[in-house]
Amino acid sequence: MLELINLAYIPIFLLIFVRMLSFLVVMPLFSYRTIPVMYKIGLSFFLALTVFYTIDASVAVVNELYLILLVKEALVGLLIGFIAYMVLSAVQIAGGFIDFQMGFAIANVVDPQTGAQSPIIGQYFYIFALLFLLAVNGHHLIIDGMFFSYQIIPLDTFISLGDDSVVKFIIKTFNQMVIIAFQIAIPIVGALFLVDIALGIIARTVPQVNVFVVGLPLKIFVSFVAILIFLTLYMTLARSLFEFMFQTIHRLLLLFGGA
């Protein structure tokens, strides 16, 4: 009898496992390609096992709609991870703005998360942001948010895909992400803009000076000095960025839950 009861809980555990696994596949920091797939599966398994003992496991979900529930769980995990990844992408977008002004736009590095090319300064800021996230135990808050998601979106409920509120929310989040990226980049971009103005004045007043030879090293030097000066400001902006990410995830969960 005990074995039959344990087997009856497997479909419920599978629903929990699918949401956790789909979330870790997309979520930054956990979804790095350098992290072995077996580690992601194992972490999802133990997180799902922990969640299993904290929710009501007597919910009847084994019916003709079970496959739809599996798809729903995968969709919820993917969207939550995608929102978090999109918000954190503001750091790399800001780095792209800075690289364009510095003259580093042609020199990119490979992002270990996606395998695609990313701007040098953007990857530098992104690593700092992830280290800051680990330093303040932000990854614990992210996992805690996934535990909280099972209270807002129970296993036996469906999410409404006919309502356009989720799409509007994602578009609004994308717009806010671009604004945050501009706020991160504006100190360096503004300093380099002033350098461009100074070089333009020098080119008009002292034509003998080759501004194309002097300009690029000067802009690189000024940008590095500006980054060093405004590094403390970036930590403050990173904290605000993570707060916005947690608020965005919570709001998305409420939309899925019908709030």
Grouped pLDDT means (10 residues each) for the chain, 259 residues? 57 85 82 80 86 72 74 85 83 82 69 66 79 80 81 75 72 85 85 84 79 77 84 80 84 74
pLDDT reported for residue 113: 61
Beta-bridged to residue 109, according to DSSP, are 118
Whether the Cβ atoms of residue 238 and residue 132 lie closer than 8 Å to each other: yes
pLDDT at 59: 62
The CA-CA-CA angle for residues 78, 75, 59, to 5°, reads 120
CA distance 20 to 108: 33
d(CA 255, CA 173): 14
pLDDT at 4: 42
Query: Quick one: pLDDT at residue 114?
Result: 62
Q: Are 252 and 163 in contact (CB under 8 A)?
A: no
CA 222 centroid distance within chain: 29
Check: CB of residue 219 under 8 Å from CB of residue 192.
yes
CA angle 198, 184, 179 (to 5 degrees): 110
Residue whose structure tokens are 């980054």? 227
Cβ atoms 22, 74 nearer than 8 A: yes
- State the residue for tokens 């996606």: 114
